[in-house]
Structure 1
Amino acid sequence: MAAGPPPTQQFCVAEERSGHCAVVDGNFLYVWGGYVSIEENEVYLPNDELWLYEIDSGLWTMHLMEGELPTSMSGSCGACINGKLYIFGGFDDKGYSNRLYYVNLRTRNGTYRWKKITDFKGQPPTPRDKLSCWVYKDRLVYFGGYGCRKHNELSDCFDVHDAFWEGQIFWGWHNDVHAFDTNTQTWFQPTIRGGVPPQPRAAHTCAVLGNKGYIFGGRVLETRMNDLHCLNLDTWIWSGRIHIRGEKPKDRSWHTLTPIADDKLFLFGGLSSDNVPLSDGWIHCVTTNGWKQLTHLPKSRPRLWHTACLGTEGEVMIFGGSKDDLHFLDTGHCSDLLIFQTQPYSLLRLCLDCIGKNASLLKNQISWLPSKMLPQVLKKITFWAAANHRQEKKAEIERQEQINVT
């Protein structure tokens, strides 16, 4: 019996959002949390929904979650270790959080169950959001963020922005480093043994290459930055500001930084010092200590407060975020997935894509393929069917909008 395209189906897409968490584990992209704007109100997305994007088939599915659910939040920091998604911090209707949760993404029965970590040792960071996280040696290493502290918690690692004197609560930016060992369930604050740390900040981005944790940009007060720093995650020594050779990206916040090779980082998007949403992409090579701007990226797809994850073949997957300046026009939340190819695809991937794009022409020959390849082929057929469906739907919406305008 000939293997043809799968039956016609309705292709759903994860809801638009900003300030969410996303990780890749295996062949899936997982998305949780964030918020949208409805009639000028910030609405946090349901805390019991986990969206899964299968990279091979291009299909989204939504799974309801159980267990000790985190509150619905934005600005949380998400990271994946050994198939577990960890969520720390964030902001909700009651303020800032310093709670830590995890969910096993490799569940066998299809049930995703949150667990709040309460039986930990040590002291967690103070409540905050818009922080960053490095994953290294089964540890979650957190840096910076915006949040609140009590008067007796003030220190040099905290830049005060505002204060509420009744109860002596202070709001501001951090540049402290905290680590959580997932094996021993222990919080600890490593002793920084040298170097000059970055100034306190939030809405920055980070990435790990080897044993080095990199920090780029972010915001403090009304200033956005484009400085690059590095922390040795073995010795806990800061590099100080790394002096760049040649051209470099402009100041920004709410951007992403993704490791794409042993010595390369991919920077995308953000909000500039002029409050302009950015759509530029850059690659930083730590070996040559230089930035190179990519010229082939679309100029009409700015993103800020999005997520970026590395796919199974070196592609960077940008999901969600906003195309507007969230401080002034908080309506442009996105639900599309931008995929940036950073290296040549394998020959197998190219062949599968070719078959998927031309499934209607090749339907009588597909059954000739080795049986072990058929599941992969069917997923690629589904992928391109889903892509075409979304493109047709987008074109139809644009036509209707044009009719309404005229």
Structure 2
Amino acid sequence: MENSTVPRVVDWVGTQTELGRSDHTAVVNGNILYVWGGCQTVIGQEVTLPSDEMWMYDMESGLWSLSAMSGDVPPLLSQTCSSYLQGHLYVFGGCDGHAHTNQMYRVNLDDREFVWKRLTDTEGTPPSPRDKHSCWVYGERIIYFGGYGCKTVRELNNEKNFTVDHTSWATIGTVIFRFWGWNNEVHMFEPETNSWSEPQTQGACPSPRASHASAVVGSKGYVCGGMDSTLIDLHCLDLDTWTWTQVYSTVGTLPVGRSLHTLTAVSESKLFLFGGLSATGQPLSDAWEFDTRTKEWKQWDHQHKEKPRLWHSAGLGNNGDVIVFGGTQDYTVLMDSVAVLRSPSKNHCADVLIFQTQPYSLLR
């Protein structure tokens, strides 16, 4: 019989070894930062962290607490995509240690019971299995974009939406007539009806990509990076008309191209970009603000310049603060004759970085 008692919650004085992680999920709700999953490096190997634990950081007291989770606990997942809607954390896709998945899980964060539910019997066709994708939350819907995964020959019905990773033929999988690569598809999930759909978009869509960043401002979904380019590219999808446009900045300097970074909406017209991995393999610590009205990038002068981050999380806190947690600062890229390989990071960060994006009130 399932234990219906409230899960164990304990105060925790975290250490680098216990709390440091990358590739995790983080949600800011009020004064609490919820952190789930991720990976750490153990004896030179990247290890996926348990999926039946929820870490909570109280930003007022500075204390961490740990709670057990129950229900339909997801498998150990990496490179998944998460979203927060109506008090629930949704987790979709990723790798489960054996293959890419397209499963959806949900947990209520507000009731503090932390009981997972796997969403099955959905209507419509879900996206193909993928990882390193992103999503927007708009109009009580979750809208997914891009990612890296596999498709059969039959599924490759639109070459413009999928770029084949030719190196994967030698390094991934054994199934004949299955192709791996990047996509620029848009899929929508509606929790109220438990249904999937694929909106038909128009306009100049972004090229297929993964490890990019996305954010919503008003009715517009923005996506940037994730490509091997010298300068950052920025694209906008109108979530009412499903029309893509590429956003060009005609004023000032552009950030360098990057992946594994974060993009956070901090006001009705501004986006905040932080960190990532440059196209040349360098961890970044720069911070930028983009004004969606003036189409201008502005670099920030901040106190965390000596703390580069990639593969981290970022969320909007109280008073416009951007809360950055985890990630790594010593990511290494190795090359061989077949593919680009990633060396495990030696140090996964455990500190919380606060970026103040607007003046505080006198009370604060």
TM-score where L is the length of structure 2: 0.89
Q: Would you say the 8 A contact 2:29–2:317 is kept in 1?
A: no
Q: Which has the larger radius of gyration?
A: 1
Cα separation, 1, equivalents of 2:344 and 2:175 = 32
Where does 1:93-104 land on structure 2 (aligned, <5 Å)? 93-104=97-108
Q: CA deviation at 1:246?
A: 2.1
What is aligned with 1:302? 308
Cα separation, 2, equivalents of 1:32 and 1:224 = 33
Cα separation, 1, equivalents of 2:175 and 2:83 = 36
AA aligned opposite 2:283 = P
Identity %: 49
Cα separation, 2, equivalents of 1:202 and 1:213 = 16
What is aligned with 2:224? 216
Match of 2:126 among 119, 124, 127: 124
Residue correspondences, number: 336
What is aligned with 1:361? none
What is aligned with 1:347? 362
Cα separation, 2, equivalents of 1:214 and 1:148 = 25
Tell me, which stretches of 5 or more residues in structure 1 are unaligned? 1-8, 350-406
What is aligned with 2:178? 169
What is aligned with 2:271? 265
The answer to whether the aligner puts 1:160 opposite 2:192 as a matched pair is no
What is aligned with 1:19? 23
What is aligned with 2:205? 197
Cα deviation code 1:7-48 (max 9, x no counterpart): xx8633661111111112233111111111112212100010
Cα separation, 2, equivalents of 1:217 and 1:136 = 21
SS of the aligned residue for 2:26 comes to strand
- Residues 1:104 and 1:166: Cα distance change in structure 2 (over 3 Å): closer
What is aligned with 1:235? 241
Match of 2:296 among 280, 290, 294: 290
Cα deviation code 1:193-248 (max 9, x no counterpart): x21100000000000000000011113xx557610000000000001353442211
Cα separation, 2, equivalents of 1:319 and 1:68 = 27
- Residues 1:166 and 1:225: Cα distance change in structure 2 (over 3 Å): farther
AA aligned opposite 2:196 = W
What is aligned with 1:251? 257
Cα deviation code 1:27-75 (max 9, x no counterpart): 3111111111112212100010011112222221110000001111121
Tell me, which stretches of 5 or more residues in structure 2 are unaligned? 1-10, 333-341
Q: Would you say the 8 A contact 1:20–1:35 is kept in 2?
A: yes
TM-score where L is the length of structure 1: 0.80
- Residues 1:10 and 1:187: Cα distance change in structure 2 (over 3 Å): closer
Q: CA deviation at 1:337?
A: 0.7
Q: Would you say the 8 A contact 1:224–1:253 is kept in 2?
A: no
Match of 1:334 among 333, 344, 349: 349
Q: Would you say the 8 A contact 1:25–1:80 is kept in 2?
A: no
The answer to whether the aligner puts 1:325 opposite 2:331 as a matched pair is yes
Q: CA deviation at 1:101?
A: 0.4
The answer to whether the aligner puts 1:136 opposite 2:120 as a matched pair is no
AA aligned opposite 1:180 = F
Shifted more, 150-159 versus 225-234: the winner is: 150-159
SS of the aligned residue for 1:313 comes to helix
Where does 1:383-402 land on structure 2 (aligned, <5 Å)? none
Higher strand share: 2
Give the superposed CA RMSD.
1.6
Cα deviation code 1:141-187 (max 9, x no counterpart): 00001111122111321110033564322111110000101111110
Cα separation, 1, equivalents of 2:117 and 2:35 = 17
- Residues 1:182 and 1:166: Cα distance change in structure 2 (over 3 Å): closer
What is aligned with 1:29? 33
AA aligned opposite 2:179 = F
Cα separation, 2, equivalents of 1:25 and 1:160 = 39
Cα separation, 2, equivalents of 1:47 and 1:40 = 21
What is aligned with 1:399? none
Q: CA deviation at 1:117?
A: 0.2
Cα deviation code 1:329-361 (max 9, x no counterpart): 521211111111111222222xxxxxxxxxxxx
What is aligned with 2:8? none
What is aligned with 2:7? none
Q: Would you say the 8 A contact 1:175–1:198 is kept in 2?
A: yes
SS of the aligned residue for 1:348 comes to coil
Cα separation, 1, equivalents of 2:59 and 2:292 = 29
SS of the aligned residue for 2:84 comes to strand
What is aligned with 1:146? 148
Q: Would you say the 8 A contact 1:225–1:253 is kept in 2?
A: no
What is aligned with 2:189? 180
What is aligned with 1:369? none
Cα deviation code 1:292-315 (max 9, x no counterpart): 001234321000010000002211
